Structure 1
Amino acid sequence: MTQANARGAAPAGQNPNLVLGMLLLVYIFNFLDRQMLGILAGPIKADLGLTDAQFGAVGGLAFALLYSFLGVPLALLADRTSRSGVVAASLAVWSLFTALCGIAANYWQLFLFRLGVGVGEAGGVAPSYALIADYFPPERRARALGIYSMGVPVGLASGTLFGAYIASLVDWRMAFIVMGVAGLLLAPVFRWLVRDLPRTGSPVRLSALFEVFPVLARKPAFWLMAFAASFSSLTGYGLALWTPSVLQRSFGLGLIETGQFFGSLLLVGGVAGVVAGGFLADRLGQADRGWYAKLPAIAWGVTAPMFVAGLLSPSLTLAWALLVIPNGLNILWLGPVTTAVQHLVPQHQRATASASFLLINNLIGLGVGPLLMGSLSDALKSTYGIEALRYAAVACVGFYLVAALLMLLAVRPLRRGWVD
């Protein structure tokens, strides 16, 4: 192992930018497949006869149950074998189950197929974080992870737009089938183009969780960042699933109009947010590692009131202007925080560390957020009628302030726990 490889340089024949581009494309499919459910809430609920709470369970809990817990063993497998191979196989599995969602005949079939999507996606993110950390040196790592994290807004926007247009042209079922088949075709191409770097350190054993997690558990920065990100994701995943329905119920938009409105918010605001987060963290974090936590805390503090103002706006034009800002700030954390988690452990344990972080983040964020927002909407219907979902969303925005406080508390522990 040369010093260059230890710091993230690619071996002969491997282009870091190509690897990052392919990982970004896979991540776009990851969120594209998730977000189609949100834009198609109306026709799916009408076809299958679902309540808001049931749809929230399908959009969050069903996905999160196995997605959260399988991320750790799949990351261990990736650390022990091939990270790129695990990502490719995961893409194929979740794409297959995405296509199967298009033939669901009732609530339980859709619930089970979404479980399958979660099984596949469980193996995609943590090994990708580790591959990026391998390919890019520390001073460029947050920017690389920020570029990778563009898969979130681009995937959400693409899922919103493609889902709306395909459903309008054919039906909601065809949208899932088309996107699932596209992912299945991408999987072998990714496997052919992306290879792992040689690794430093001892090979990771399947019992590595019992070695990696105690290291993380002794670091307060890990817990504070994990729970901060979880409370942010609780609201973020809830809004991603339910905002299209708010636009249709409270602002009277049709399916295509909703896709255009929400897709543009995600694309413009989200891309700016994740790029800014990675760039600023790399610049400011060189002098003070605490900025990897301070940046997300500041962003979430601004996000909460901006979302409230936008969701309660009486004007659609004003709503877009207000909502585009928090749609960028609410995901600014992705580059800085995922980079910081990578630096709480040695190089050869990064995928396992990321999976441990994602276990907490996704179990709370994905498992609770969409279901909580849907359940609150059902509970408020007797009082607020068609506006119940809007007020349920506003109530959940307060979790961003909890996230900001926890992340501020992580600043000093992060400086102490950082591993170069």
Structure 2
Amino acid sequence: MSDKPASPFYRGYVLFILVVVYTFNFIDRQIVGILAVPIKSDLGLSDTQLSLMGGLAFALFYTFLGIPIAMLADRRSRTWIMTVALAVWSAMTAACGFAQNFLQLFLARLGVGVGEAGGVAPAYSLIADYFPPEKRARALSIYSFGIPVGSALGILLGGVLTSYLGWRAAFIIVGLAGLAIAPVFRLTMREPKRGGFDGDGAVTTPAKVSDVVSTLVQKPSFWGLSLGAASSSMMGYGLIFWLPSFFVRSFGEALPGFFAWMPDALVPANAGPVLYASYFYATVLLLGGIAGIWLGGVMADRYGPERKAAYALVPAAAFIATVPFFIVGVLANSLWIAFPAFLGLQALSLVWLGPVLTAFQQLVQPNMRATASAVFLFINNLIGIGLGNLIIGAISDSLKAVYGDESLRYAILSGIIFYVIAATLFIITAPRLKKDWAS
């Protein structure tokens, strides 16, 4: 552990390597979205089974192991924990490529969740110890770039590798790439002093479980922000998983025309709708996601220090603004209309990350930041990942007899209510943030 303040250059490297690891986190987490189409065909799965494999299988161990691992991170080396986590989830992603049936694939995805349980909460804590409070929202926003970048690369690599080598090779290649990053991360990432930017009164001695629980119980804003984020994540994760299938089913014949300008070198002769859908959605995720996350971080750092309620009101306004983009995008009959609509939807739906993650780091003392973050991730991901994919898939199956391949369109449309619920919870929570803020 180093007590010496890090140089601006090294802090920049810290953010870079953390973004790289988080990118692999989301590549391995979201690659199943684009691979769902060939997996369904090859293994003969239903939409509900795809939902269980893509959502609940990952969420079970990811959520339940996150809290004990984070408690360990509040006491031991966060960099070692993240190194082991990266190696485990990468190895299990590669194992997905060898699955021969639904059960084997489900168990491999459980393994991915086991590894990724130690990949995020320790990183939040590390960033809080490398950056002062007035820069944390932007730093956490930059870290969160791993979400759109990783999701986009997962969709893109999944589509390209599947087109050339098959879906099994896609899992194996991205898994091995993550394994190669693990030793680089361990050898170059230093453990910072806990609470180094939080003043002499910051508490850094390990907190007891009872202390963390009693602290969070007394902070209603923590629960309001957690439930609001979880509500939005039901659609966030649900869209990332199901939109590639939606584009293939509802726009399959139109996708090649949308990319008629693309050089032949980027489109193999046997290119199908899966590859075109991966290009389309990866672009939406990358451009819209980065723009929205950065906007949220900048606004939080600008307005939050003077008015704590801004950490909730900025995301609330963004969620309300998603409604028209959501409706237009899902109901569009033209890709030229759907593209800007989904771009706006993607940007607005991720504005919350910088403000909310910053608020969580300031609602508790430095000695319990990783654990508090893990409690948030438990709520957010158990509800968001565990239920979002499953609800959309189940609704799609129930509507299939009436709407055929278009059933997925209306299943997705029904989820707009969750963004409205998220906005409402953030608005209710906003007045409480000033009182709950940790000195």
Report the Cα offset of residue 321 of structure 1. Answer: 1.1
Report the Cα offset of residue 13 of structure 1. Answer: 10
Partner of 1:341: 360
The yes-or-no answer on 1:395 pairing with 2:414 is yes
The yes-or-no answer on 1:23 pairing with 2:25 is no
Given that 2:128 and 2:361 are in contact with CA atoms closer than 8 Å, whether structure 1 keeps it comes out as yes
The yes-or-no answer on 1:264 pairing with 2:304 is no
The yes-or-no answer on 1:381 pairing with 2:383 is no
* Match among 111, 129, 134 for residue 129 of structure 2: 134
1:83 alignment partner AA? R
Aligned runs of 1:68-217 on 2, under 5 Å? Answer: 68-200=63-195, 201-204=203-206, 208-217=208-217
- Secondary structure of the residue that 2:74 maps to in structure 1? helix
Report the Cα offset of residue 286 of structure 1. Answer: 1.7
Alpha-carbon distance between aligned partners in 1 of 2:6 and 2:64, rounded to the nearest angstrom? 33
1:28 alignment partner AA? T
How many residue pairs get aligned? The number is 413
Aligned runs of 1:334-373 on 2, under 5 Å? Answer: 334-373=353-392
Alpha-carbon distance between aligned partners in 2 of 1:360 and 1:114, rounded to the nearest angstrom? 19
Aligned runs of 1:45-56 on 2, under 5 Å? Answer: 45-56=40-51
Residue 315 and residue 222 in structure 1: after superposition, are their counterparts in 2 closer, same or farther (change >3 A)?
same
Structure 2 alignment gaps of length 5 or more:
196-202, 256-272
Partner of 1:326: 345
- Secondary structure of the residue that 1:32 maps to in structure 2? helix
- Secondary structure of the residue that 2:118 maps to in structure 1? coil
Alpha-carbon distance between aligned partners in 2 of 1:72 and 1:210, rounded to the nearest angstrom? 13
Structure 1 alignment gaps of length 5 or more:
none
Given that 1:52 and 1:377 are in contact with CA atoms closer than 8 Å, whether structure 2 keeps it comes out as yes
Percent of pairs with identical residues: 51
- Secondary structure of the residue that 2:190 maps to in structure 1? coil
| Farther-moved stretch of structure 1 (118-127 vs 10-19) | 10-19
Aligned runs of 1:4-19 on 2, under 5 Å? Answer: 10-11=5-6, 15-19=10-14
Partner of 2:325: 306
The yes-or-no answer on 1:231 pairing with 2:231 is yes
Report the Cα offset of residue 130 of structure 1. Answer: 0.3
Report the Cα offset of residue 36 of structure 1. Answer: 1.1
Report the Cα offset of residue 304 of structure 1. Answer: 2.5
Alpha-carbon distance between aligned partners in 2 of 1:378 and 1:311, rounded to the nearest angstrom? 18
Given that 1:29 and 1:155 are in contact with CA atoms closer than 8 Å, whether structure 2 keeps it comes out as yes
Report the Cα offset of residue 213 of structure 1. Answer: 2.0
| Farther-moved stretch of structure 1 (195-204 vs 370-379) | 195-204
1:231 alignment partner AA? S
Given that 1:99 and 1:180 are in contact with CA atoms closer than 8 Å, whether structure 2 keeps it comes out as yes
Alpha-carbon distance between aligned partners in 1 of 2:54 and 2:248, rounded to the nearest angstrom? 18
Report the Cα offset of residue 12 of structure 1. Answer: 7.0
1:224 alignment partner AA? G
Q: TM-score, normalised by structure 1?
A: 0.96
Partner of 2:431: 412
The yes-or-no answer on 1:249 pairing with 2:249 is yes
Given that 1:306 and 1:322 are in contact with CA atoms closer than 8 Å, whether structure 2 keeps it comes out as yes
Partner of 2:261: none
- Secondary structure of the residue that 2:414 maps to in structure 1? helix
2:371 alignment partner AA? T
Residue 388 and residue 265 in structure 1: after superposition, are their counterparts in 2 closer, same or farther (change >3 A)?
same
Alpha-carbon distance between aligned partners in 1 of 2:9 and 2:78, rounded to the nearest angstrom? 15
Report the Cα offset of residue 14 of structure 1. Answer: 8.1
Alpha-carbon distance between aligned partners in 2 of 1:250 and 1:199, rounded to the nearest angstrom? 51
- Secondary structure of the residue that 2:360 maps to in structure 1? helix
Given that 1:310 and 1:320 are in contact with CA atoms closer than 8 Å, whether structure 2 keeps it comes out as yes
Q: TM-score, normalised by structure 2?
A: 0.92
Q: Deviations over 1:37-62 (max 9, x none)?
A: 00111100111111000000111101
| Farther-moved stretch of structure 1 (364-373 vs 13-22) | 13-22
